Every structure is written in structure tokens, then in C-alpha cells.
Structure 1
Amino acid sequence: MHAINAVAASLLSAGHSETAVFQAFSKQFVKLGLHGSINLVDPTGRDIVVRAIALPNKLNNVMAQLEKMINFSIIGYRYSRERAGLDNTAMEVGQAIFLSDNSRKVREVMPQVGKLATNLMLKYFAGRPAVLAPIFADEGKVQGVLYASGSNLQATDGPAIAAFANHISIALQNAILFQEMKDARASLQRVNASLAASRDAIHALVQQTPVGIQVFDTNGICVDVNEAYLQIFGMKRNQIVRIYNIFTDPFAARVGTKQAAERVLLGETMRLGDVHFDFERAEGEFFHTIGRRILNVTLFPVFGESSKVVQFVGLYVDVTEQKKSEASLRQLTMELSQQKQMVDAMLRTTPDSFYVLDINGRYLYASPRALEHLSMTLPEIIGKNRRAIGLSEALYEQSEYARLQVLQTGQPVVKEYGEWTNGEYRDQEFIYSPLHSAAGEIIGFVITVRDVTQRKREQTALFEAQKTESLGVLAGGIAHDFNNLLVAMLGQTSLALTKLSHDNPAHDHIQKAIRAAQKASELTRQMLAYSGRGKFEIRLLDLNKLIEENSHLLKVAMPKHVALVLHCYSQLPLIEADPGQIQQIVMNLLLNAAESMEDRPGTITITTSVIAILDETIQQWQYMHQSVSPGHYVLLRVEDDGAGIDDDVLQKIFDPFFTTKFTGRGLGLAAVLGIVRGHHGSIRVSSQKGYGTTFEIAFPISDKDNLQVVQPEVTTAVSTSTGTILVIDDEEAVRDALSDMLESVGLSVITAVNGKDGIQQYQQRWQQIALILLDLSMPDQSGADTFTELRCINADVPILLISGYSEMEVQSHFAHAEKLDGFIQKPFDLDLLISTVVSKLPALPDES
């Protein structure tokens, strides 16, 4: 027992840590001639853990061999409490248990290992007496068992072993207390160091912050300030700390900080906001003069024990420059807003749309006109690309290509595209321009979108007008030259016919030649009609009456399988027109419609009515780019249910000499267009393949009560007339034909090759010349100029103009005051020439 007490004393002296206790146990227990272990329950209560072992050298070697075999250390080895029946008994009874044979104990706790290791353990550690004594924690709670074994142990040694286990318990408790004290001391040191660091950090923060901080005691005396405060107020520390009292400062009362401090002492936090400080102080007041400042002021309490206010703090933020910046920003914002309003107002006056995009093609701005076009607001498009706002994929790709092209070249890109807007196809032009920074780098793009529909229409109209004018000039020139040839042909053949008897073999052949020439003259009339230079005899015309009077003729001209239907408006206004030309329009359109029926039955409908052409519908009547004014018009509609016209053909049907017919000359519709143009009307066509075609012609309504057309008087008497005729024409064949025809009735003829020659001839023989035949179109000097000079020589000489153009066209070449004595349109035959000339010759004196 004495030895055990010595060992226990050694354990207690090592109680500064569990490790030291376990080491002392291992060392001292062996000295007692015993071996064993300290086994403690783990915190979960499910397992028992071997924490320390005490073995003599011989058994140490065996244990080392065993640990190598089982591949783990016995110290730290766990075994289940469910298996440890003897350990549980010792802990439950709270007393030492003597075992005469420890084999059961060894089997309960030894690991489940191979047979060789098991036999080794049983050989060296089993079959000996042993004692199990409980190890207690504080408050008598059992925390494990002390296992002691030795060949000399007896049952009477149980109390001594129990006492040893109790010393182990005390030593372990002391070690735990010592460790807790050590941990607490270390924790306290860490807290103190942290507090010191926090104090230093807070002090540094307080000193470095730009916010002025002032600390007051409950009497309102300043007890501390930071550097920012001293800088804001222009003070030194010894001028304010322990000197300044907020409750006695009249300036504090004036700006409201005194009143706020009184409420802070009651526990409130006072945010005074922006306070204007005027530091130009009167004598006796506290602060130095540093000018006017604006400070954002907050006062808040500092609470001690029992939630009692022990101090209060003032925070002062100098916002003077910030307020100046805010005022400048507000002014700048207002100016920018005004400029934006001016720019928007200016951009709103232009029909163009403007967009500003960043370098990635996202919207930064859109003009008011652009937003109207998109039906969006500016916030709705900012930051979005052109695809995100509903741009078509094709247009988006075209826009992206232009953007990349501008990035690559640095030059503006112009593109055109078409789109449907409100049911109407519009042509658009967009200009993609680079937006440069001050350094010259491309930072974005400016897009200008312009509606060029009207411009393209005008360009197309100009082209069509130029084409029509060119073709008209060509057709008119051809007709004029052809008419000159026909004059010679008709004149000479009709003259030859007068010299042949009816039974002459050549008579019929010449008659056929005359008819062929007359048919050729019909062709020239159509060409002149297209050129707008056809023969027009304008009068007030009732379109309904003309159609009704010719209805029988129109129906006879129709094939039997085509029905003709008339729908005439009963109160149709009058128009100013040439009846023959209008009749040609109707007949040409009817024949065109009938041919479209081919061999199948169909219906052609002629309708007359009155329509109003308005500003919004005027474009529909510019089909052939005719000039049309808003107003009321008489409408002639010819509609068929025939085969219809292809779109590509529809654009060419009015071109002269264009035809889809095998035998056609392509002048029928060209003549229609020329006649309509000559009557200041307009024409439009609509057609659908397989469903028919509709021609609509609008004629201006006449505002005149009466138009009189003077018809030439025709007479064949020649016996009472005489004189010499001066023929002025640049065409030799025409001069010869006129000479031969006039001389055939006994008239004398003088010819001139041009205007100058004719004037010279007349100046030399004016007394014998009774009448002049003058061609209108001649080189060098025109017929009009020649006419004027002849009138200057003799104002009374009869002058008959001859031309391939119409009388209206000829009249347009003369001044309004110049009166024409007569006109003969080429081609003409012998009878027309002689009757017209004789009617203008002065009669012979009566011989009786």
C-alpha cells in the first residue's frame, strides 16, 4: 500500500495534462510489478477507448509484435461497451472486481484478428489474476475502468487498486482543470490583444476618416475630436477639447445643434441633415473665420450600464463641394435637357429618322420620328440591338453587314431596302456613318433612315416620261416622213387615175395602190396619236351618247361568243374631246378585250361613271406617270373576264410596237395612251392572270358651256378661180406631187425648196402669186418663221399650211394673234387638195 501511495503521489504531481498522467501511470505501475491499462468511455458512451497501457519490457516486446500483426496501435483501440461485460459491471457497481483468471476479460476486449494473433494474446496476457476498478469523473460520475493484472495479485489487493484508480481519477480531473485554465488564459490574452488591435484600428479609422467626429460628455463639454473635425472647423485640439460646450455656444443655438443635443441626452438620434455654417464669427464666439460651409450633421447617444446615456457624439460631413457639384450637375442636366428638347424638336421637323448605336450595335438614342416609326419609346429600345426590336432577319443581316463594313473601312455606307408600312410598300435608304471619339476611334454609329419612295417614283416617272417623249418624237418623226411619202404616192396615183378610163387595164391596179396608201395613212395616224400629235377636233362630248350611237357598230365588231354589256351613268357630265379619237379608244380597248377571250365565251362590260380623285388616291392614277390633279372626272371602264395579262407584260403594253399577237403591229394601246395624254386624262390597268383585265380612263369634266369646231368648206368648182400657187416644201417628191396635181386643173405652180427660197420667190413674184402652200416642218428655217416673214411682206396673201401633224399641233407653233387661212393634213388625195386650194383662191372678175 505504501508503494501504491508513492505511485499515486507521482500521478498527482503530473496532473498538469492528461498525457503526463498517462505517462506517469505507465512508468509507476510497472514498478509495482503490475501491468494494465486505463480505459475511458468516449463522449458518445457507446465505446471504451484504451488511453494508456503499462507493460514490463518482456510484454512490451510481445505487444510490439502483436501491433505489427494486427496493423494498429493498442493505445487508442476502441471496443464496444456491448462486448465489455466485466468493464460494465465494475462501472455499474462502482467498486473494484477481483478476477482470479482474466481470460474472459481478455477475450471480451481483444480485437477480432487472426488466429495467430489471438493465440499470442491469450498466451501472454490471459490466465492470470486481475482487478477492474472504476475511474470516476467529477460529481461521482464513472468515466472508465482501471485494469490491473499480475501473477501475485490477490483478492485483498482490490481496495488498493481501487484507491489507485481514485488517484487516477483525481489526476485526470486536475489535468482537465489545468487545461481549462490554460485555455482560458490563452483566450483572455487573445481577447485583450484583439481589443487592443480594435482600439488601435478604431482610433486610426476615427483619425483617418474624412467625417468630423466630436465626443461630448453629458454636460455638453467636448472631450475628444478627430483630425477631420479640426480641419473642417479650422481649429487646434487645445482650442476645443475640454473647452468647448455645446450648450453655452450661441452659434450652436442658432444653427440648431444645441437643441438637437438636448434631445440626444434623452436617448434620441438626431439627423439634422444639411446645416449651413457661416464661420465669419462675431467677437467672443468660438470658431475661426474659414468662410461659408455646408455640413451634414448627425448627433447620437452612447449608452452605458442600465441603458443610461454616458456620452454623445457629433458627426460632421463637409458636403460643400458635393452641393456645388450637385448644383452644377443640375444646371448641366437642365441645359442638356433643353438642348435635347431643341434637337428633338429640330429632328421632329425632318421626315428622316436618326439612330445612335454603340460599337456593338445596341441603341443609345432614337429621334422622335424614328420612335414613331417603331411605335416604341426610348427606354424600350435603349441597350437593345436591331433584331431585338423586331427588325426582319434579312434587314438585320443587311444592317449588320453595313456596320461591319463601316468598322473595316471607316467610311459611311449607303444601302436601300423596301418594306411594307401601313399596307403600302415604301422604299427606304439608310446611311450607316461612323461616330468618332476625340481620339478619332470609332465608338459607335449614326444611322439616318430616309423614305425615298417619292424620289424613286419621280425618277421612274422621269425615266418613263423621257422614254415616252423619245418614243413619241420617234413615232411623230416617222409618221411625218412617211406622210410626205404618202403625199407623193396618193397624189401621183390619184392624178394618174384621173387620166385613165375605167376600162384601162391599169385602172384597177392604181385603185388598189391608192387603197394601200390610204391604209398606210391609218398607220401614221395611230403613230401620231401615240405621239400626242394626232388630229384632234375638240368639242363638248357626251360620252354616253357616243357609246350608245356606236353600240351597234361595237357589237358587230365583237365575235359571236363574246357578249357586250353597257352600264352608262344617266347624269354623266360633258367632257372636252375629239369624238373620233374617243371612238378609237373604245374600239381599240374592245378589240383588245375580245382577243383576250381567245375561243371561249366571255363578257365585256363598258361602264361610265363619275369619280373623285383625292390626294390620297392620286398615286393610283399615275400608272403611266401621267400628271393628274385632284378633282372630279368622267370614268370610262372597259372590263373583260378573259385570260388576263402577266405582270411582266403589263408593264410594256403601252410601248409602241410591243405586241404579243402574231399579226399585231403593237400600236393599238400605244395610240390609246397618246389620245388619253392628248386629252389631259389618265389611264390605269388592273389584271389578274386567268380572271380578266380592266382598263379605266379618267377624263377631266368640262367647265365650258359650248365649244365650236370650224369645219372647212369644201367645193370642187375651179372654173371661177385662177392664179399662181407658190409651193414651199423641202421634200422633192411632195413638191412634184403638188405641182402635178395643181397643174392638172389648170393652175400655175412655182416651187421653193425651203423657207428662205420661198421668201425670195415671193419677194420677186408677189404680184402674180395668188396663194401659198407652206410645209410646217423644214430644216434651216421652219414653216412658222417663214409664215411670219411672208405675212410681213403681204398680210393679205392666203397661206395654207400642210403638215403630217394635226391642226391643233400646227396651231401651237403660232402666236395666238396669227390667223391661219387653212390647213391640209398629210397625206391627202387630189380631190381634198384641189377643193381646199380653190376655196381660198380669189374669184375671177365677172365678164358680163
Structure 2
Amino acid sequence: METKGTLKVVILEDNPQDAELEIHELKRAGFSVDPLIVESEADYVAALKPEVDLILADFRLPRFDGMSALRLLKDRGLDIPFILVSGAIGEEQAVAAMLQGAFAYVMKSRLVSLGSMISRALGEAALRRERNSAQEAVKKSERRYRRLFESSQDGILILDAASGEILDANSSLLALLGYEPGEILGKKPWELDAFKGWEAAKADLQDLKRLAPVRRDDLPLTAKNGRRIDVEFVGGACTADGAGVVQCSIRDITERKRLQAQFLQAQKMESIGILAGGIAHDFNNILMTIMGNCSFLQEGLTQTDPRRADVAEIAAAAARAAALTRQLLIFSRKELVQPVVLDLNELIRNLQKMLRRLISEDIKLESSLCPEPAVIRADPGQMEQVIMNLCVNAREAMPKGGRLILKTEIWKGGADCLPRRRPCAAPDCVRLEVADTGCGMPAEVLAHLFEPFFTTRPPGKGTGLGLSTVYGIVSQAGGDVAARSAVGQGTTFTICLPMAEAAPPRLEARSQVAGSARGRETILIVEDDEAILRLNERILRERGYRVLSACGGEEALAFLKEAGSRVHLLLTDVVMPGIGGGELARRAVRLRPDLKVAFITGYIDDRELDSLKVLKGDILQKPIPPEVLAQRVREILDRS
């Protein structure tokens, strides 16, 4: 006889003989039986465990019954075949038992059919378990897919391949576009404003139907609030629940594009800066030659000579050109920062004529300057740049005209100079306000105003560096800057700078003593531009100095080794072929620790500037007028 496996059977029976008959029939049917015979409800409940294969229950017991046993089984959610075994059961009772989940019932007088009945019950139970297991696997897969679908940082869009209707969209896509599910589900992408930038949507869908994947590296979408979003789009066809669908992955690349644009802009600005610095260097050498020789010509002409006016025009043109190269150096960040004590009021007064040319005629320029000197310590050129940048910003905000107001005041108590900003380091501050009556700005623009490359102008219309440059210059001077604005109510920039203790020097003081800047010391001039070399030689020789000249670092070192003890000052260019000015100075000081050094240069980068400062040499910027060069040389030599 074929053995069909060991059955764990719970037999609910109060008659031991009937229980033995049931076990006998199971064995006769080929089952190996592991029986547990129970009579009471408590024992029955204790026996209900998932590992039980079969329950045989008498319909009537003295204090319990088969129907109650069936309900207890179902209440516990166990899927165990349940067969009623009874000496007498009515048809209605049998039907009721079957409806409540009993597999079958058998009369005790017909136990011969019990084996085949159990085989069917076990077979159906096995099929149910397989089906339930498969369904649970499907549910797990669906839950896993839904978790992946919803947790994806990329937007996911599911389309019906036949109609193009949107079947599903994950939360990332809905958040990106700002829509609720009901606003897009059941619609076609080309029917929605969000996808109006996807002009080839219908054509792409046809390609996807042919199982051709679609990729768009830069697809513009539109959020519900009108904001443009640049996305990377990848679509592919697949089958889901037997139906053809298109799964689209949508990745937001707006920030990536912004950073790429910033990087490209920075590269462009760096390239332009290098070009501008190189041009300024060459121009400064030419201008220094022109300005120096103009000075020589003027010295050789009498006050009544008509040619004196011609020379003055040449000198004035050279000075204007020098101002242009200075702007190039500011742009390329290679200008030497030379902070001095200055009166901000005086600087603004001197700048007003240029500002009126800078702004349009329909903008009224007004100034309200405090009566006392607004004394600060800053680089005059950079402070001019700050004011001009703010005025240009105001001009752009007033295309139809308006008012531009410059106001200064002395602020006693730096802590409150700029509310909600870090306090000014000095006890007293100079406050500058630049206000316009233009279009104003919303709060979200104000929040990013001083960030590099941030601009509200169309691409190509602005670098986004103007206000960040203002912030950098003001911070370098120990101050701070803030802006307040509202749409339609204009904009006010407030700059707070520490007030300097000393009064600004009178401009004519240096010129009064410039003529006496003479001496008899020995100066070694190192310059690779022959015209500049000859010019500086003449300037200093005519003032009594003994001058040695070298066209490069190697020649200068040879001079120092041969006659080093007689040289009082090394005056060297910085940018030269071979040994540059910085390296020359290092070697020269090793040879002569007491040697004084001055650098004269057309431009210099920040790293080289820091390196030169370590050498404690003075730095003079080309083009430098002859009398100024002579005066600076005298100052350096007289310094202990």
C-alpha cells in the first residue's frame, strides 16, 4: 500500500472507539498518522497550530460541538481542512457547515469514504497554499515596486502605450511639477501645460510603441506655478499586467545646468581676465613711456611755449588711457589694492560728473552728503567701482527714468549701523546709501542678491558679478552691505564702513616735496622693457642718483655679486623672462640682507602679491609719473 506521508491530525471526539476507527481508515488509505485526540474546547483550542494538516470533528459532543470548533478555527485564520464526522446530521446542518468553511462531512456509518475525501481536501489545501503564496509574492513585488516607484528621487511617469494617457506618476514627479494626481492622471502629456515643452511627445510615443527607446538630454517642462524646469528624459516600452505601457524617467537637471553655466561663465571670466591683465601690462609699459617723456618735454619748455599745451594734451590722453587700463586690472583682479585714508564725501563729489554720464538723462541724480568729513580707509579706485556698480544697477531698474539718491552719514555706534547684520568692527561708522525709485525686487531675489553669478537679467545681458564684487570690496575694507526692496517700491543699498581715525591727507602735500626727491645713492634698475629701463634711468639720474641697469634677473644677480655692497636699492619689474622679480629679490636679499627692494609692475596676481609682501618690498604700479617715482624712491631709501 502506498504511503502518502505523515499527517498531523486533530480528532475532536469523545468516543475513543470512534476515534480509533477514523485513524484506522486513514491508515488504510495509505497515510501515516500522528493523531491528537481531544474532547474539550480548551484542549481543542490548544491543539490549533499552523503545522496541523487535518481536523476531524464530531458534530455533537457533551459540552462542545463541531460548528463551534469550525468557528474557532476560522477566527484564528488557519487554513486547515475541516471535516465533520457525525452519527446523525441533518441536510440543513450539513449545508450550513459547508457554507461556514467545512470541507465536507461524513457519516460515521460510512467511514470507508474518509480516505478519498481527505486526499481531495489535502490536495485542495495544497493548491490554495500555492495560490496564496503566489498572490503574496505578487503583492510583495507590487509593494517593492511601489516603494521603489515612490522613493525614487527621479520623477517617474507611466503612460498607456496605445493611447498615451498617463496611468501613474510618482510623488517626486508630482512634487517637481506641483500637481495633484487627479490633475494629470488619465490625460495625455501634450494636453497639459507642464509638458508643452515636449514638442515631440506624439512622435516619441510612436517610437516607443516600436520598442525604440527615447532619450532627451535637455527637455524643458513647466511647473504649475509657471517655473521652468530642465529635465533629462528617458522613456522605454514594457509590459505591465499584460498591457503595453511606457515608463518615463524624468530627472531634474535645473541645478546642474545652473552650476554648469556658472562654471563656464567662471572659465570665460578667467580667460577674459588673463587677456585683460596681459593687455593692461603691455599698455602700462607703453603709457609709462609716453607719460615719462611728456614730463621730460614739459621740463624743457618755457611756460609761454605754445608746444607746452600740445604736450599737456598728450599727457592728459595718456592719463585717460591709464584709467582705462586700471579698469581692466580691476576686472581681472590684478590691480594692487592700496587702501588710504579718504573722505567718502569728496570721492562722491569728484565722481558725480562721471555718474551723470553713466546714467541716462531721464534719471535725476541727487546727493545728500553729511556736513562733516566721512573719513574711511579704503582703496579709492575700488570705492569708485562700488559706487559705479550700484549706480549701474539702479539705472537698469529705472528704464523709464526716476531718481537716484546718494546719501552719507556718520553713524555713532556701529552695532546698529545695519539692522539684522553683523555689527561694524569700529565704534563709529560711515554709512552710504544708494537708493533708486525703480521697479524693486521680490524677497526671493533679495535672498540671493550678493551671490556670485546671480542675475535677474536675460542670458548674455549681465555677468552677475557686479553686486558680488561690491560685497567683496566692502568686506575687504572691513564693512558690510545690505539691501532692502519691494516690488514697485525701489531699492536701497546701505553700506557701512568703519570710520578712520586719521584725517585724509591733503593731495598737494606730496607734490610740494616731489621736486626735492633727490639723492646720491646707487640704485639697480631691472626691467626687460628697454624703453621703460631707459626712462627710469633718466628719471633717477637727473635727480642725482647713481644708476645701474639690467635687462633681466641673471644680469642683475651678476651686478650684485660684483658690486653688491655699493647698491642701496633694487628697483625691479615683477614679470620678466627667466628669473622674475620675486625670485630675484629673494636671491638678492640672501646676498645682501640689508638691501632695500621695490617692485614696479603693470599687473600682479594675488599669489604673487602675497609672495612679494613676505619680502617686505614696496610695490609700485605702472604707469607711475616721474615725480611720483622719484618721491617713492626717496621715501624708501629714507626709511630705517
- TM-score normalised by structure 2 residue count: 0.65
Secondary structure of 2:316's aligned partner: helix
Say which of 619, 627, 630 aligns to 1:834: 630
Contact 2:524 2:549 in 1 (8 A): yes
Deviation of 1:800 after TM superposition, in Å, equals 0.8
C-alpha spacing 1:424/1:575, structure 2 compared with 1 (3 Å): farther
Letter in 1 for 2:590: C
For 2:338 and 2:490, locate their aligned partners in 1 and report how far apart those are by CA, in whole Å: 28
Q: Deviations over 1:520-544 (max 9, x none)?
A: 2122222222223334334799xxx
TM-aligned CA deviation for residue 737 of structure 1: 0.5
> Match for 1:727 among 515, 520, 525?
525
**Conserved in 2, the CA contact under 8 Å of 1:558 and 1:591?**
no
The residue type paired with residue 488 of structure 1 is T
Q: In the alignment, does 2:128 pair up with 1:323?
A: yes
The within-5 A match list for 1:116-515 is 255-256=83-84, 258=86, 261-262=89-90, 264=92, 271-275=98-102, 285-287=111-113, 289=115, 292=118, 319-340=124-145, 342-344=147-149, 346-347=151-152, 350=153, 352-360=154-162, 361-373=164-176, 385-387=188-190, 390-392=192-194, 394-395=196-197, 397-408=199-210, 410-421=212-223, 423=225, 425-436=227-238, 443-515=244-316
Cα 1:375–1:751 change in 2 (3 A) is closer
Matches within 5 A, 1:727-806: 727-805=525-603
> What is the identity, as a one-letter code, of the residue corresponding to 1:554?
Q
Deviation at 1:322, TM superposition (A): 4.3
Give, in angstroms, the shift of residue 825 of structure 1. Answer: 1.4
Shift in CA distance, 764/551, structure 1 to aligned 2, threshold 3 Å: closer
Once residues 173 and 136 of structure 2 are traced to their aligned partners in structure 1, the CA distance between those partners, rounded to angstroms, is 28
Paired amino acid for 1:286: V
Q: State the distance in 1 between where 2:88 and 2:612 align.
A: 103
**Distance in 1 between residues matched to 2:161 and 2:395, nearest whole Å:** 63
| Amino acid aligned to 1:800 | A
Q: Within 2, Cα distance between the matches of 1:260 and 1:611? A: 96
Structure 1 position 261, deviation (Å): 3.4
Aligned partners of 1:561 and 1:616: how far apart in 2?
Answer: 29
**Residues 251 and 574 (structure 1 numbering): CA distance in 2 closer, same or farther, change over 3 Å?**
farther
Indicate the residue corresponding to 1:603 in structure 2: 403
Asked whether the equivalents of residues 539 and 576 of structure 1 are also in contact (C-alpha less than 8 Å), the reply is yes
Q: Distance in 2 between matches of 1:344 and 1:561?
A: 58
Question: What letter is aligned with 1:416?
Answer: D
In structure 2, relative to structure 1, the CA distance for the partners of 1:250 and 1:749 (3 Å cut) is: closer
Partner SS, residue 113 of structure 2: coil
Give the deviation of 1:792 after TM superposition. 2.2
Counterpart CA distance in 2 for 1:400 and 1:505 is 82
Counterpart-to-counterpart distance in 2, 1:357 and 1:413: 16
Q: Which residue number in structure 2 is paired with residue 814 of structure 1?
A: 611
CA shift at 1:375, angstroms?
Answer: 6.0
SS at match of 1:287: helix
User: Quick check: 522-531 or 377-386, which moved more?
Assistant: 377-386
Unaligned runs of 5+ in 1: 1-232, 236-248, 296-316, 628-644, 656-669
The more displaced of 420-429 and 510-519 is 420-429
Counterpart in the other structure of 2:414? none
- Give the C-alpha shift of residue 791 in structure 1: 2.2
For residues 638-717 of structure 1, the aligned pairs below 5 Å read: 651-652=460-461, 678-679=473-474, 716=514
Per the TM alignment, residue 753 of structure 1 is displaced from its structure 2 partner at its CA by: 1.5
- How far does residue 741 in structure 1 lie from its aligned partner after superposition? 0.9
8 Å CA contact 2:59–2:89 kept in 1: the answer is: no
Q: Which amino acid counterpart does residue 339 of structure 1 have in structure 2?
A: R
- 3-state SS of 1:286 partner: helix
**1:823 is aligned to 2:619:** yes
**Gap change, CA 1:496 and 1:551, over 3 Å in 2:** closer
Structural RMSD (CA): 5.4
Distance 1:381 1:697, change over 3 A: closer
Distance 1:764 1:412 in 2: 77
Give the CA deviation at 1:730: 1.2
Q: Contact conserved, 2:208 with 2:237, CA < 8 A, in 1? A: no
8 Å CA contact 2:569–2:595 kept in 1: the answer is: yes
Which range moved further: 822-831 or 365-374?
Answer: 365-374
One-letter identity of the residue aligned with 1:491: G
Q: Following the alignment from structure 2 to structure 1, what is the Cα–Cα distance between the partners of residues 536 and 263?
A: 42
* Structure 2: unaligned runs, 5 residues or longer: 1-27, 31-55, 61-65, 67-82, 409-416, 422-441
Distance 2:220 2:99 in 1: 64
- 1:276 and 1:450, CA in 2 relative to 1: closer, same or farther beyond 3 A? same
Q: What letter is aligned with 1:465?
A: A
Give the secondary-structure state (helix, strand or coil) at the position aligned to 2:89: helix
State the 1:483 CA deviation.
0.8
Residue 546 (structure 1) aligned with residue 344 (structure 2): yes
Work out whether residues 476 and 528 of structure 1, in 8 Å CA contact, stay in contact via their aligned partners in 2: yes
Separation in 2, partners of 1:527, 1:282: 111
Q: Secondary structure at the match of 1:760?
A: helix
Q: Which residue of 2 aligns with 1:89?
A: none
| Mapped contact 2:582–2:612 kept (Cα < 8 A) | no
- 1:167 maps to what in 2? none
3-state SS of the aligned residue for 1:795? coil
Deviations 1:526-582, CA, capped at 9 Å, x for gaps: 2222223334334799xxx8359846973897599864445899xxx9998434432
- Identity percentage of aligned residues: 21
Give the match's secondary structure for 2:595.
coil
Q: Distance in 1 between matches of 2:112 and 2:92?
A: 22
**Any conservation in 2 of the 1:561–1:601 contact (CA below 8 Å)?**
yes
The DSSP-based 3-state class of the residue aligned with 2:623 is: coil
Deviation at 1:269, TM superposition (A): 6.1
Match of 1:214 in 2: none
Contact 1:355–1:363 (Cα < 8 Å) also in 2: yes
5 Å-filtered alignment, 1:527-606, equals 527-538=328-339, 546=344, 550=348, 554=352, 558=356, 563-565=364-366, 577-586=378-387, 603-606=403-406
Q: Distance in 2 between matches of 1:840 and 1:582?
A: 27
Q: What is the alpha-carbon distance in structure 1 between the residues aligned to residue 93 and residue 639 of structure 2? A: 140
**TM (normalized to structure 1)?**
0.51
Distance 1:461 1:366, change over 3 A: same
